[in-house]
Chains A and B, each alone.
Chain A
Amino acid sequence: MKSRIFRAPEGSSTGGASEAATLSTAPAVGAHASAPLGPIKIAARDVSVFYGEKQALFDVSLEIPDKTVTALIGPSGCGKSTFLRTMNRMNDTIPGTRVTGRIEMDGEDINDRKIDPVLLRAQVGMVFQKPNPFPKSIYENVAYGPKIHGLASTKGEMDEIVQKSLKRAGLWDEVADRLHSPGTGLSGGQQQRLVIARAIAVEPEVILMDEPCSALDPIATAKIEELIDELRERYCIVIVTHSMAQAARVSQRTAFFHMGKLVETGDTEEIFTNPRERRTLDYITGRFG
């Protein structure tokens, strides 16, 4: 049993994810933190990312527990989104990108050549900054993933998946009567929840969120945050956010990135009240960023 699963990059010795790692119960601070943290889902070790010649991420090592919301914070261009995209190999889609180091999910290196990115992404869903529903109906949007992966063999099964996903995303009541109208006709917040429904329709284990509320108004943001908190029961959630208030509201664990490096990581409460690093303090108190 290790007490510090989230390792700071500097100064701490290597802790193996292969060792059976379960998180000790976090100190009960506030409603969020009172929930028990799950076992380690993803463990990154010495991950560096290069876009062509330019290095965007420097030797990041981070462990992410299951059934928990982990927030990645930091000023723009600090590498938090880049790191997020390594976890479902979305960086593969950008030509000239190179990833080094290990990212283990359930103990296996996802950058291994044997790993199929298609299967990986069926297990690691992703929600983007701007809501990006496909120009199809609401139903078709949610059914997209199950269809391509062949998860439903009958129309009834598909209806069930769509309904279940929309319900989990908290959108069912609003769209039940217009499942076949275009998804692009919804409001911004609804679109973002539709995209979340689309992601959970393939029953992933991990959901990555890249600033999911940055394009939304405060009311829609509040709804999404509420939803994230509910989803935590079933999924491992990693969220990149610009807003420290949001990180404080929704996450149990926080990792602070700066200039492509992971500066500090720990329980959200601790990071915000008692950071170990000077830079973290400067950032969360608004001295830069």
Chain B
Amino acid sequence: MTDAAQNLTEQGTTGVSPRTQRLKARLRARYARETRFRWYGRAAIGVALAFLVILLGSIITQGYTAFYAHTVTLPVYMDPARIDRSYPQGANFEQIVAEQQIRRLSVQDDEQGTKASAMKALLSSELKFQAAKMIARQPGLLGQTVPVAAPLSDDAEMYLKGKITRDQPEDQRRVSNAQMDWLDRMKASGAVRAHFNAALFTKGDSTQPELAGLLGAVVGSALMLMVTALIAIPVGVGAAVWLEEYSPRNRITAIIEVNINNLAAVPSIVYGLLGLALFINFMHLPRASPLVGGLVLALMALPTIIIATRSSLKAVPPSIREAALAMGASRTQTVFGHVLPLAMPGVMTGAIISMAHALGETAPLLLIGMISFVPGVPHAIDEPVGALPSLIYIWENASERAFHERTAAAILVLLAFMIVMNAAAVLLRRRFERRW
């Protein structure tokens, strides 16, 4: 290696100029810093991705158990002495079933009937409604023994799903050793069976976790999003078209533009306050209704839709406008006949994404009253409903542990909807994306 050549390689400091020696002396430290810096970046990304994995992982591990449930099917002797033919709802079916089941398991009950009560605690109140419904429909079943199927209570469910275990001290858990034994025996005998939890998707909210479903909230959210989409998309697109294609360059336009940018950054809870003060207290629209919720979300989604629409209108090259105008088309004909159709894929992509965002928005819903318990499934836009995100909030606050897995399941359902919407947006973009 020649003298000159050595000037450029990292190794070897003999016989090179002092300047080069100096450079080389620092090089190792400089590269060490370089490597360190690169690792900071990698670490930052690693941490961010780890958070994502932990977040999703913790929700999935907490929530997947809510997608299956256990049903107990028991032969019940419909005792005519204890069930009133004309008013079967009044009969204490749970007690009747629990006592019969205790006897069937050959457990000796004491005088207070504590064993029967313990058995009763394993059954859901749904059992009563099922049995009463059967008798009401077929009074002839009285005096016979018929199989009745019903969910287990939330505590029993928690044991069967391994969320309550025998390792915990007996006085600190809600299922006793005896109850655990019974459940094990009933499971072994086939009386208790696990299955897909369809009720989660077919029922409305309930105060009892084992009966609570998401349908009411899903429908509520859907109604609300419908209102939002019907208002926000036309108004947002209209505003964007005006700003991009019609607006004169004057003060009013400038004010509107600044306004839209600022609205996009207003905290969502402020929109909740607006909804409460304007729509409920001033206009007396019905509290907690999809109408009010949809209006509030529409106002929130508006800036996003306007901004997305404007950028896709901007992407349409001016040559298209000039060509149409040169053919004698008026401005309106140009915009609605040529520019807007070309911008439509971008507009729809932006609209879907902002709808997905609105679907997950929670804080304003709490302020307009979507925080109270709403049983059943809504069917109108002017009656109180629950929405998916507010239901998540309500369930998270519930004291029953069984609601926790359902909260996580509700989150998974919400995320699934959002993923579907975002995927639709991405597909739309891929399918129709145009490069000018």
Contacts and interface: CB of A to CB of B under 8 A. Distances in A.
Do A and B touch directly, given a CB cutoff of 8 Å in the complex?
yes
Interface of A: 105-108, 110, 112, 114-116, 118-120, 122-123, 148-151, 203
Contacts, number: 51
B23 A115 contact: no
A116 B4 contact: no
Given A114-B10, A115-B9, A116-B10, A150 B4 contact: no
B7 A119 contact: yes
B23 A150 contact: yes
27 contacts: A105-B4, A105-B8, A106-B2, A106-B4, A107-B5, A108-B1, A108-B2, A108-B4, A108-B5, A114-B10, A116-B10, A116-B27, A118-B27, A119-B7, A119-B8, A119-B10, A119-B23, A119-B24, A119-B27, A123-B8, A148-B30, A149-B26, A150-B25, A150-B26, A151-B19, A151-B22, A151-B23
A1 B10 CA distance: 33
Interface string B245-260: 0000000000000000
B22 A150 contact: yes
Interface in B208-238: none
A201 to B, nearest CB: 12
Interface in B1-35: 1-2, 4-5, 7-11, 19-20, 22-27, 30
Interface of B: 1-2, 4-5, 7-11, 19-20, 22-27, 30
Considering residues B7, B8, B30, which has the most beta carbons from chain A within 10 angstroms of its beta carbon?
Answer: B8
Contacts of A116: 8-10, 27
B23 A108 contact: no
What are the 4 A-B residue pairs with the smallest beta carbon separation, nearest first?
A106-B4, A108-B5, A150-B26, A114-B9
Contacts of B8: 105, 108, 110, 115-116, 119-120, 123
A203 B9 CA distance: 18
Considering residues A106, A112, A120, which has the most beta carbons from chain B within 10 angstroms of its beta carbon?
Answer: A106
A279 B25 CA distance: 49
A261 to B, nearest CB: 28
A123 B8 CA distance: 9
Contacts of B22: 149-151
A118 B4 contact: no
A118 B34 CA distance: 12
Nearest to A104: B5
Considering residues B7, B22, B30, which has the most beta carbons from chain A within 10 angstroms of its beta carbon?
Answer: B7
Given A107-B5, A119-B24, 17 more contacts: A106-B4, A106-B7, A108-B1, A112-B9, A114-B9, A114-B11, A115-B8, A116-B10, A116-B27, A119-B7, A119-B8, A119-B23, A120-B8, A123-B7, A149-B23, A150-B25, A151-B22
